[in-house]
Amino acid sequence: MTSDIAVVRQGQTRVGVIGLGYTGLPLALGLANAGHHVTGYDIDETKLAALRSGHSYLADVRDEDLAVTHGSLTVTSDSGALEQVDSVIVCVPTPAGANGVPDLRAFHSVFEVLATHLRPGTLVIVQSTVPPGTTARAAALLGERLGLTPGEDFFVANAPERINPANAEGWNLENTPKLVGGLNPESALRAERLLASVCKVVVPVPSLEVAETAKVFENTFRLVNITLTYELEALCNSIGISVHDVIDAAATKPYGFLAHRPGPGVGGECIPVDPHFLRSVAADFDVAMPLVDEACRRAAQRPLQVVDRLAELLSDAEKDVSTARVLVVGVAYKPGVSDTRNSPSIEVISELDRRGAKVSYVDPFVEELVVDGRLVERVAWDRSAIVDHDCVILMTPNRQITERPLWYAAPLVIDTWNLAAAGDGIHHL
């Protein structure tokens, strides 16, 4: 053990990062820059080819960032390469499938690979978000398959990802506190030491389950509070005041209040997904979580509310959604990224399609968009494209759009983020 720790301090361990996506690639680069020899393993040959030719496919990672790893990051789709590493960090996707059921197929297939290739003594860190209890179960199964005792013959920890892609506040791998829970103290210690080489603050927590649950609770907290603002918005609209004025006012309280905003819905791989992981475990234990259930229901409905509001406003203007030309501005789930997974814009476009509208989109980061098998027309953010539509829905407040507020040219605008004052054809939800 002591010699391992010394090796880590010298920055010379061999680390396998499994899954080189939004979370795995920045981690692999961070580890390589910290002096580790990193093997990035992924099943997506297109991504591997891009990395080998020095090109990044993520907005947050520049080609120059890849170049500075000086050969300490190699990438492969050969799972046999994982036999050469001292630690593996699992960063594969864990989405929610239909009705929010956790889809852990990629996660389990990684453990299948580890059952073939893991060497005794290896540290396995799960960074993918998983329903509480998943890491311990996977470790037990892996131990059975290998004929090894987890915690003794190999080591297991959970260290959830908290990355906030394209955030403007400067939070990154290095300065975001990293939770680490171990299967046992030895596992925790090894994981803490490795992760301390890339994260300034490592926060040990008592168990795997605490780390797993804290991660999904963080995003459940956000979902519940975001959907609470939908209710507040409905009340404010009835009173005749702005929900944003109310939230701004409440946010001046220096303690005990955290501002959340009512946008067009929640997207990405975390906020809409993680509460379902909590619910799935609650169901296993027969524990009711009605508040979380309701928040999930409200969030799922929110994009439809955007479309309903548009139909109502078009009708007021003696137009019909079934013949309207609609420009959806922003299709990624947040500004500054190209990630459209679970984006409310996709739901809005899908629903508009169902109702017969002709939809185009603008997004500085998303070059091509297919919704329900249909390629959606992409247009430029310029005056001629805007006036060619009956209405504009401002969905993702990208800087490239907000710095050129051309929406004033549109006959009808739904501004889901309060970018402009209501009036003169501009409406809030």
Which listed residue (86, 212, 269, 390) binds ligand NAD by CB under 6 A? 269
Instruction: Using the rule CB under 6 A, give the single segment among 27-35, 90-98, 115-123, 199-207 that binds ligand NAD.
Output: 90-98
Distance CA 90, CA 67 (A): 23
* Cβ-based nearer residue to ligand NAD, 236 or 335: 335
Name which of 47 and 427 has its Cβ closer to ligand NAD: 47
Q: Which residue has the tokens 């990630």?
A: 339
Pick from 30, 40, 102, 165 the residue near ligand NAD by CB under 6 A. Answer: 165
Choose, by CB under 6 A, the member of 11, 14, 21, 141 that binds ligand NAD: 21
Tell me if 59 contacts ligand NAD by CB under 6 A: no
Cα separations in angstroms, 314 against 275, 309, 323, 351, 361: 35, 9, 10, 15, 18
Dihedral in degrees, nearest 10, Cα atoms 170, 175, 177, 183:
130
User: Mind giving me the DSSP string for 203-235?
Assistant: EEES-HHHHHHHHHHHHHHHHHHHHHHHHHHHH
| Of the candidate residues 7, 14, 35, 43, the single one contacting ligand NAD (CB under 6 A) | 43
Residue 241 near residue 250, CB atoms below 8 Å? no
- Closest by CA to 89, choosing from 186, 195, 176, is 195
In the bound state with ligand NAD, the residue whose beta carbon lies nearer, of 28 and 306, is 28
The number of residues making up the chain comes to 429
H or E segment and range at residue 116: helix 105-117
243 is an interface residue for ligand NAD by CB under 6 A = no
* Residue 20 in contact with ligand NAD, rule: CB under 6 A: yes
Smallest distance, ligand NAD to C-beta of residue 244, A: 26
Identify which of residues 176 and 242 has a Cβ nearer to ligand NAD in the complex: 176
Q: How many residues bind ligand NAD (CB under 6 A)?
A: 27
Judged by CB under 6 A, the chain residues 272 through 311 that form the site for ligand NAD are none
**Is 47 near ligand NAD (CB under 6 A)?**
yes
Among 5, 44, 175, 297, binds ligand NAD (CB under 6 A): 44
Residue among 33 and 129 whose Cβ is closer to ligand NAD: 129
Q: Which residues 6+ apart lie within 8 Å of 171 measured at CB?
A: 164
Q: Which stretch binds ligand NAD (CB under 6 A): 14-22, 201-209, 288-296, 397-405?
A: 14-22
Q: Provide the CA 64 distance to its chain's centre, in angstroms.
A: 24
Candidates 104-112, 150-158, 243-251, 289-297 — which segment interacts with ligand NAD by CB under 6 A?
A: 104-112
- Residues near 158 by Cβ (< 8 Å), separated by ≥ 6? 125, 126, 130, 135, 180, 181, 182, 208, 211, 212
Residue 134 or 197: the one with the smaller Cβ distance to ligand NAD is 134
Interaction between residue 132 and ligand NAD (CB under 6 A): no
270 catalytically annotated? yes
Using the rule CB under 6 A, give the single segment among 16-24, 66-74, 300-308, 367-375 that binds ligand NAD.
16-24
Q: Name the amino acid, one letter, at 347.
A: E
Strand order in the sheet with 123-126: 73-76, 37-41, 14-18, 87-90, 123-126, 155-158, 178-182, 202-205
Asked if residues 315 and 309 have their Cβ atoms less than 8 Å apart, the reply is no
The region of 86-94, 191-199, 222-230, 254-262 touching ligand NAD under the rule CB under 6 A is 86-94
Residues 193-212 that bind ligand NAD (CB under 6 A): none
Given 236, 270, 296, 391, the catalytic residue: 270
Query: Among all residues, whose Cβ is closest to ligand NAD?
Result: 21
For the annotated catalytic residues, the residue numbers are: 270
Interacting residues toward ligand NAD by CB under 6 A = 18-24, 41-44, 47, 91-94, 106, 109-110, 128-129, 161, 163, 165, 268-270
